[in-house]
Structure formats: C-alpha cells, structure tokens
Amino acid sequence: MSLICLSLTGRSIEEDLRVLDLYRGQVDVVELRADYLEPSEKFLIRSFPERAGLPCILTVRRKADGGQYEEGEGGRLAMIAEGLAYAKLDRSANFAYIDLESDFHVPAVEEACHIFGTRIIRSMHCVKGLPDNLDEAWKAVSGQAEEIPKLAFACTGAADLAKLALWAEKLPARDRIVVGMGEYGFPTRVLAERLGSFLSYTSPFSAGLPGAAPGQLDPSTLAKSYRFHSIGPNTEVYALAGGKSVVSSRSPELHNAAFCETLRDAVYVPIAAENVEAFLAAADALSVRGASVTVPLKETLLPYVSELSADAAKIGACNTILRGEKGWQGFNTDAVGFERALLEFLQRTDLAGFRATVAGAGGAARAVAFELAKLGADCLIVNRSVNAARSLAKLYGFAWGACDERSADLVADHSDLIVNATSVGMEGGPQGDPLEWYDFSGHEAVFDLVYKPERTALLCRAKAAGCRVSNGYAMLRYQAAAQFTIWTGREPPLSCFSK
C-alpha cells in the first residue's frame, strides 16, 4: 500500500515539528526538506528523526532540481553528513531514508547509509518536462537493488500524464516513486498506488507552509477527501476533465464523499488537459470509467462520443461521459442542474413571462438556453463572438447581440434574469466582470454559473446595486448528483449533494 509522506518546508526544526503534530495520524512518513532551513538550523538536523517519531526522509534539494539549496556541493555534502553523523544502533532514531540525486555518488555517504540502515532514494527531477527517453532516466536511478528509484517529472500536458502512466505500468515490481509534477501531473499523486509508487508527497498547506513541489495536496485532503489508503488495483477511477483550473474544483469533494457514503470502491480525480485528445489518452492510460467534462472541452468532445443522450444531442454539448461497450456515451446534466438550482433561487415553477439575458454561447450556455426555453422565458444571448450568439439564439427563436456596451439597451429589455454562463471571474480563469458595461437597476435576479470564488466581480456589483444574486454552487451539486446516478445506476446520497 502506498504511503502518505508529509514534506516539511519550515525555516526551523521546531516549526517543522509543530506542523507535523497537526497531521499525526494522517501521514505515514515525513520528509525534512533541509534545503528550506535557516543556515543555523543545519546543526540540529540530526535530532529530527527521534523527535518526529515517524520514518523520516532527509532531503537537501538543489535549486536546479526544484529545491531551495543554492550553495556549492561541498556545503550540501556537509548538511547530508550532519544528518547521518553519530547514527545510532537504534535505527528508529536515524533517518530511514535519504534522497540523493542520480548524479550524487559519494562512497562514504553510501557506506554510512548501508551500515546504519538508511535507504537511499535515488532521484531524478526534470522540472521542464518529461525527458525524451524514460527508459534511460529509469536506468540512471535504478542500478542498485537496495535503493528506491525516484523519477519526478513536470507534466506539460495531459499527453505527458498518459505517457508517464503507461510507461510506469511496465516497470518491474520493486519499491519506486513515480511522480508527475504540476497541475497536469496531479492524478499521479492521488493514484500513486496504481502507478506502483511507494509513497505520495504532500505539503502542509493548511498550516501555511510553502509547497515542496508543484501539484502536491495537503495531507488531510489526500487522506480524507480522496481516501488515499483505500485506493487499490480494483478501484474505479472517475475524472473531472477540463482546463488547469479543474485541480481547484469542488467536484472531487462531492463525488468522493458520495462514493464513501455508498461504500463504492471508486475515486474521482481532476485531470487537466490541453485538449480533448490529450484527455482521452490520459483517461485510457488511467482506466477512467466515467468523467465530468467542463470548459473548454464540452463541445469539442462531441465527435469522440459514440452515443449521445437525447438532451445532450438537443443541447449540442455534453458534460458527462461513461465508458460503454462501444465507446464513450455522452450525457448532459448541466441542464437539469441549472433548472433545479434556478427555480430554487427564484422560488418559481416556471419562467413564463420572464425576459432573460444569457452571457456566453459555449457548452454551459447551450444547456442554460435549452432550459430557459423549456421553462418559457424570452431570452437574449450575448457573446464576444456575435456569430456564436446568433447560432445559439436561432435554435430557440431568441434575440442575440455582442457582449459589450452596444447591447446595453437589449439587456435592459431582457433583465428580469441575467445569467453568466461564461468562465469570466472563475478562480484560475479569465478575471473581470463579463457585463461591466451594463448598469444594474436593482430589480434583476443575477445567476452566475461560477461558484469559486463564492462572489465574483459580477455578483458583487449586482449585490451592491440591490439585486438578488446566486452563484453556481447549487447547480454544481444538482448536476453532480445526476452524474452519480449515470455512473453508478444508484440514487445519489442526499447527505452529499444537498446544501
């Protein structure tokens, strides 16, 4: 079973120990990142393992490898020697592991490790992307049977994630660590067991310390939300596919809680992808069974779906896929999620007589327009691309216009309800207010599909003008509940998808 390792990046040993105490019971191994310590603290390194009371890794990472150590190799060797000095026969008081790079070979250090039972993690870090030849990289770190080879590569896209996962499957059975760094490599940290990794590194973000490497999670999130220690070879994998911002989505919180509640051996993981083809390659490499699909992949996914539900076909976008016998099946739960959340917000059963404006013409806007038409609203579609606005509006006999001040009078005439179905204002997405050119009068009801942050610039401005406002979190919950049913064939647990 893969272990959770807490990487400590404090400026002092005392600070690191205080942070470790916050996570006891959640982590299995602790890594002392000595390259983060104040210079005077290096003389206290040796005391750390005994005081920590857990198996410890000593790491002094060079700047070139993604660490903080910038002095010469002589000084770094002195720090490593300090950590190994006066090793005790009681091995629990020694560092259980030491991380040494593939180009760092000092016979005296290696001999000391052998005598006192400190296993060497022989590592290679490529912070600019995957090397051209993964087999050569493996050969550079795996030469000694008693060592633990470690390869940590920045993934520059989901295509790199797919390549790394497929390659790791073919590695010989032995203790090893394979990590994809950054947003695109995020799934390797959750699915360490599936990649045969000995451990997964985490950082104490909730304690305020800097992350030791890009893409790491807080150990509490990995242990509790993702149920890391329950992931095994038979665990079903579900995913959230979209841009880089998916790694901060709240969808994993909802779906993983539902899997836990229903005792389903499954995990839901965000997969950031540069395009649909790269996501599908990663989905195949990780044996993804089903996925939520968000911007910017909703519409571009359609050609790769072998079967579409009736609603998804009418809307022209799918946000949910399930692997079937003939390929991917596509569904749209945005529409039903939006309808339920909107009517709850407005406290109505239909929108007869309502005049509404929808900002956007992408996959989410298509689901919104579909539902507004079904509910009886008369709508205006505004979008940066007027052609896209026109194409969507014509499906339902709606008005259309540009998403700028030229449409201010049109919006004023369709202002009972205003819906932002763009990604503007989303955390990790384009920032700003998509309707900054429109002056709210205070009578409008404003619904923003964005839910993170809780209050976008659009909602803050609308609220200040006296408007009723809602973000998209209720929609997220309701559409996620529908996805759960599609994937599992079961009713969603209300405890996970209700407020």
**Residues with active-site annotation:** 298
Q: How many CB atoms lie within 10 A of CB 141?
A: 21
Alpha-carbon distance 444 to 435, whole Å? 13
The SS3 of residue 24 is coil
305, two tokens:
């779906």
Alpha-carbon distance 353 to 194, whole Å? 54
Alpha-carbon distance 374 to 396, whole Å? 9
CB 418 within 8 A of CB 446: yes
Phi, psi angles (nearest 5°) of residue 496 = -95, -30
Which pairs from 297-304 meet CB under 8 Å and 24+ separation? 297/241, 297/242, 297/273, 298/362, 298/363, 298/364, 299/362, 299/363, 299/366, 300/275, 300/276, 301/241, 301/276, 301/330, 302/330, 304/276, 304/280, 304/328
Query: Read out DSSP for 368-387?
Result: HHHHHHHTT-EEEEEESSHH
Question: Counting beta carbons within 10 angstroms of the beta carbon of residue 232, is it exposed (0 to 12), middle (13 to 18) or buried (19 or more)?
Answer: exposed
Alpha-carbon distance 203 to 214, whole Å? 10
Alpha-carbon distance 372 to 350, whole Å? 9
CB contact set of 139 (below 8 Å; sequence gap of 6+): none
Which residues partner with 440 through β-bridges? none
Alpha-carbon distance 395 to 298, whole Å? 18
CA atoms within 13 A on the CB side of 210: 13
